[in-house]
Chain A
Amino acid sequence: MSAVDPVTLEVIRNALSAIAEEMTGVVMRSARSPLLREAGDLSSALTDADGNLISQGRDIPMHMGVMSFTVKEFLKRIPKEQLQPGDVWFLNLPEVGGNHLPDVKAIRPIFVNDEILAFSVSLAHWADTGGAVPGSYVPFATDAWMEGLRISPLRVFTAQGTDREKLEMILSNVRSSDEREGDIMAQMAATRSADLRFQELCEEHSAEVVTNAIIALHNRAEAQMRAALKELPDGVYKGEDFLDDDGSPGCQPIAIRVTVKVSGDAATFDFSASDDAAIGPINTTPFIAGASVFYVVKALLGPDIQPNGGCYRPLTVITRPGSVLEPPLSSPVVGGNHETSQRIADAVFLALESAVPDQLTAGGPTTSGLLLFGGEREDGAWTTLYETHGGGEGARAHRDGASVIRVHMSNVMNTPAEVIEAEYPLRVETQRLREGSGGKGAHQGGEGLHREYRILTDKLSLTTMFERRVIPPYGLKGGENGAPFSVHIQKADGESFEMPGKANRWLKRNDLVIVDTCGGGGYGEAE
């Protein structure tokens, strides 16, 4: 291959990023559900012909793993010879480079001169993928099939148009099918815009130059990652952290353990010593383990490294079949995506504590703090509020932690009280900082959130999916732990009880849901 000059390389790098960014714009503008259009719970990517990530539209750390593995795993099931120009394939199987059923991927092969040169991938969180409860978060799921519709790679669009039979099959298995159809169309449109733009890029620079530039960009990211890893002292580092439970009766904390081997400009992250697969839905996939490892390495060593296939090369991630990070295919996984991914990040951070002195943040709200309220409005419509709750950030060697914030693998916003009250049968009685919840230390952990919801309807379903209730955010270097996460229910009839971290309950009018999110860990001994 001939070398691409530094200017052309930068011009093509920008253009490739612009293609993925445009995909994100297309989905957000044309998707139907608020989860995509307002919260932006979606990702877009371009990969090369072998599925190596080239560029992505928006950085959602959690989706990184998915974007880097989906096409590779897809190609293991669907060989390239079966692919045609104009195809758009949909899938959500966790084992095919995935994470959980609600994150559905659309994949399109991009042909230039009768040869596949790239794939465009649009990932979108569908507000519902069927299953036992609205919103498809089933806290009591004990197998994969209870979690909803499982889509193995399915060619829903071809050059001839929409394959209605397959589309109807999907739509008849999910709630609010009109909304889903809009989302599917938006994903398809995004992959198509990437196809057109990639063709234009190849016309402008020639397919050969573009292909060579992609190879050069992979090599460049690899070089950046190797340079960053060299900064780490060689050695073997161990770290562990624990999930509270999996929601099943009597479940004990579940260990995530990692052994990091740093040798020169490469590193291995071995999670084999983690606990066996769980009964409840906090299992996750090796792809999420990869995403979490990549996030930690990038945050600690190279925030500016462009995420693409090349930067993964020096990193080896090992998971053990049968463990919570590589469970049997029959295991439920819906919560693992945003709970276990955070715990993997915690374990890797803690392992590297001695390798990167003074660069670690104490424990924070490494949980989505998710509450799903499903209820009937005054006008009879059924609505679901999908609300995540941030907590106090951990302190660092040189600063206090921030109060009420999302950390690491996700960054989803809250819903304002004024919107909640207008749209859902709920009243927010108060929202304030949870004073005293941050761990004390030379630097103080951030404060958590205290928010109270009053139920204003006769019957409402509440699902919880959160962590750090049993095992609080850790302090570092003698700093205190943050206060743990808790959700209490105060019934209108006077009874009150604490809600488990993964559960579903029916509530009645005037019941009060009291959320106290975790505080951040302190850093250093308090004076």
Chain B
Amino acid sequence: MRWQIGIDIGGTFTDVIAMQPATGLLRTAKVSSRTDDPLAALLNALDAVDVPWTEVQDLMHGTTMVTNAIVENNLSKVALVATEGFGDTVAIGRQNRRYLYRLDLPAKADPTVHESLRFEVRERMDHKGQVLVEMSEQSVTELVEAIRTAGADSIAVSLLHSYANGSHEKQLGEQLKTITANVSLSHQVSPEAREYERTNTTVLNAGVMPMVRDYLDRLEEAKPSDSQLHLFHSAGGMASPSALRDQPLGLAMSGPAAGVTAASRVAAELKLDHALSFDMGGTTTDTCLITNGHAEIRSDRSLAEHPIRQPMVAVDAIGAGGGSIAWMDTGTLRVGPKSAGAFPGPACYGRGGTEATVSDANLVLGYLDHSQPLGGFLQLDRDAAVQALLPLANAMVISVEAVAHGILRVATANMVRALRKVTVERGVDGRHCALIAYGGAGPMHAVEVSRAFGISKIVVPASSSMFSALGCVSASMSYSRQQTVRMASGQWNTEQLSTTRDSLISQLSAPIIEAGHDDKPLTIKEVAGVRYSGQSYAVEIQNPALDDPQALGLAFREVHEQLYGFSTDEPWELATLRTTVSLPRTEHLTNADQDRDAAPAKPHSSNLCYFDGQSVMTPRYSRDELVTNQTISGPAIVEDESSTIVIIPKSTLTVDPSGHLVIDIAEDK
């Protein structure tokens, strides 16, 4: 009886879900993360669900290792090779400054490669991939010697227009491997035009390569030979360790991507046209637009101010979380952007925090339970929360409960403003979206945020408190890459295009076939980026008719009209092609443990909670006692081991057959 295991190693907690498909058994656990030794955290997680590694068929694993290395600027020493005349591109960047009004702070981040490690080679391509200046063997030999002398742990190669012709980069790569095996070539990491973004992406890939390769080596060594290992990548799928050895930057958004992928599956299962994922943590809230069960994937996102030109789930972080601090600012009550973080954390955690936070407000209003330890181990201190809120109450001359309510209203207003921006920028009316809430604090605020935004349907999915781990265990193995093409509608070359397509497909299929899945049919998905000649933004066309430019042009004009309200018959071009190759998974996630004939759960206790300034005796339920089709009318609180769902008055919760909690908000305007 072999197991499928999903493990999400976060900054604080490691979540694990174990599934045994043959029996339908499902086990979950939460253990502390160990940033110094991720492998130890992984072994702890397996222990916690009592599954020995030898009984694991597939272990699927998300990690914040790469994210943290980039955010904390903990990167290896990288040497960069650029086309002669372009070595400074990483220092020039896009010439814009970070802060409009902060003269005191550094206007630009330091270049990712120091001047002494920037090398140039004489060669030149044009944008069509034609060689303008050959690269001589002698110049390559000299370059290799110069880098060997300078010393580097990892090497990034980014030559001008290599997305159109990577031959010079390949040639260089062969020679540079005599210095170190850690070589990243830009046309393989990010085959897209825009030299600064491609170069920086390649440098980051090189910067995390030694660390990731080392970790993968240790994992491979530790794992039993007949157990398969997969890692979760930023675009929402599984990748094999061997593929990640060359593309370690693919893990940049591993953790959030896993959660968003699980949310997409829930959206697909419930047939939600538009949904917003809503993952609220201690300092930020992550959100992503999901359309027809597919999370938005983009190749123009940034992490810690670094542009990363690789396909990633388009998660937006809102600067508001449970630890956000409330303060008076010239007559207004503000919440954030300062956060009490994980340490000292909110005042109610009793670890020395004294400032009022969103979590303290939740405790004062009775939503959080101070009689039960949070997550099973953290006893909340209501008095400390009240003390933290008192100065604000005195300043505003209102009660502590009224301040708490005010803090939540303001935090909600911040989030609504951010959600509106995220949706309007994509041409979607956010009020027609469903909210899929998960993570520690997401379900607690989901109803209030939805009411303020005008959303009427909320889903708190099954296993919401370890949703990223669930995303891991339920994802399919997939690889994707975006390539610059630039083919004008008037100069269509089907043959050239099919060479590009075949090459992308074979590169992306290789790791799946290598992992032993050569017998199963692979799913190939293509997305074309099409634009009018002279435009800079491309419109995405799903499943484009690449053999038929007339049909593609028609589809393009239709989508353009839909998005922008107009279209014309002007010439257009295929700017980019994004290809995803995946191995479909068929298993459904259902909890076989559920007793369908059980009587509806009764509340285990009740306490006074405050809603809109009124105190109401509010029943509390345990989530694991709820049964299918049970409905609960607000006000009520539903708790599981690590999150609390607040059901405000006039809203109704229903348990669906898959264990998802669906909350409907009555229109009361």
Contact = CB atoms under 8 A, between A and B. Distances in A.
Interface in A162-221: 178, 182, 185, 189, 193, 203-204, 216, 220
The 8 A-B residue pairs with the shortest CB-CB distance in the complex, in nearest-first order? A430-B85, A7-B406, A390-B95, A303-B101, A14-B413, A402-B107, A422-B127, A18-B417
Given A406-B97, A411-B96, A414-B94, A431 B86 contact: yes
B106 interface: yes
B149 interface: no
A14 B417 contact: yes
8 contacts: A18-B417, A359-B103, A361-B103, A402-B106, A405-B96, A406-B96, A407-B107, A430-B84
Contacts of B396: 5-6
A433 B91 contact: yes
Interface residues of A, number: 77
| Highest count of chain A CB atoms <10 Å: which of B94, B161, B405 | B94
Interface stretch (A27-35, A81-89, A474-482, A484-492): A27-35
Interface string B421-464: 10011110000000000000000000000000000000000000
A406 B195 CA distance: 19
Contact of A383 (B107, B160, B490, B534): B534
B100 A411 contact: yes
Contacts of A203: 669
Nearest to B420: A18
Interface of A: 5-7, 9-11, 13-15, 17-18, 21-22, 25-26, 28-30, 32, 34, 37-38, 59, 61, 178, 182, 185, 189, 193, 203-204, 216, 220, 223-224, 295, 298-300, 303, 359, 361, 379, 381, 383, 388-390, 393, 396, 398-399, 401-407, 411-414, 416-419, 421-423, 427, 429-433, 449
Nearest to A411: B96
Given A379-B488, A431-B86, 15 more contacts: A5-B398, A7-B406, A7-B409, A25-B424, A29-B427, A37-B537, A359-B104, A383-B534, A403-B108, A405-B107, A406-B95, A414-B94, A419-B536, A427-B126, A432-B88
B420 A22 contact: yes
Nearest to B564: A30
Contacts of B377: none
Given A26-B424, A178-B568, A10 B334 contact: yes
A413 B565 contact: no
A430 B126 CA distance: 13
Contacts, number: 193
A234 B564 CA distance: 54
B535 interface: yes
A396 B126 CA distance: 41
B97 A411 contact: yes
A11 B448 CA distance: 14
B566 A182 contact: yes
B228 interface: no
B566 A405 contact: no
B583 interface: no
B94 to A, nearest CB: 4
A11 B335 CA distance: 11
Nearest to A300: B103
Contact of A220 (B331, B425, B564): B331
Interface bracket on B: 35 or more
B195 A417 contact: yes
A419 B410 contact: no
Contact of B536 (A14, A34, A61, A418): A34
A25 B534 contact: no
A404 B95 contact: yes
B328 interface: yes
B413 A416 contact: no
Nearest to A416: B194
A193 B420 CA distance: 12
Interface in B186-214: 193-197
Contacts of A414: 92, 94-95
A7 B86 CA distance: 53
A396 B104 contact: yes
B194 A419 contact: yes
Interface in B76-130: 84-89, 91-97, 99-104, 106-108, 126-127
A422 B531 CA distance: 14
B533 interface: yes
Contacts of B328: 6
Nearest to B395: A6
Nearest to A433: B88
Contacts of A29: 424-427, 563-564
A187 B141 CA distance: 57
A189 B537 CA distance: 20
Contacts of A299: 101-103
B138 interface: no
Contacts of A6: 328, 331-333, 396, 406
Contact of B95 (A224, A295, A359, A413): A413
A413 B421 contact: no
B614 interface: no
Nearest to B128: A422
Contacts of B84: 430
Contacts of A303: 99, 101-102
Given A30-B564, A402-B106, A413-B94, A25 B409 contact: no
B642 interface: no
A64 B84 CA distance: 42
Given A6-B331, A14-B413, A432-B85, A422 B486 contact: yes
Given A11-B409, A25-B424, A30-B565, A418 B194 contact: yes
B330 interface: yes
A488 to B, nearest CB: 17
B144 to A, nearest CB: 22
Nearest to B87: A432
Contacts of B536: 34, 37-38, 419
B421 A421 contact: no
A405 B405 CA distance: 44
Given A29-B427, A29-B564, A178-B568, A422 B413 contact: no
B128 to A, nearest CB: 9
A366 B330 CA distance: 34
A38 B193 CA distance: 15
B288 to A, nearest CB: 17
B280 interface: no
Contacts of B364: none
Nearest to B419: A18
B422 to A, nearest CB: 9
A509 B568 CA distance: 33
Nearest to A14: B413
B101 A14 contact: no
Contacts of B488: 379
A220 B328 CA distance: 12
A189 B565 CA distance: 11
B563 A11 contact: no
B57 interface: no
Nearest to A224: B330
B633 interface: no
A28 B96 contact: no
B379 interface: no
B416 interface: yes
Nearest to B86: A431
B414 interface: yes
Contact of B537 (A26, A38, A359, A413): A38
A406 B97 CA distance: 6
Nearest to B454: A200
Contacts of B537: 34, 37-38
A422 B193 contact: yes
Given A6-B331, A22-B421, A433-B92, A421 B126 contact: yes
Contact of B100 (A61, A361, A421, A422): A61
Contact of B160 (A17, A30, A405, A417): A417
A433 B100 CA distance: 23
A17 B416 CA distance: 11
Contacts of B410: 7, 10-11, 14
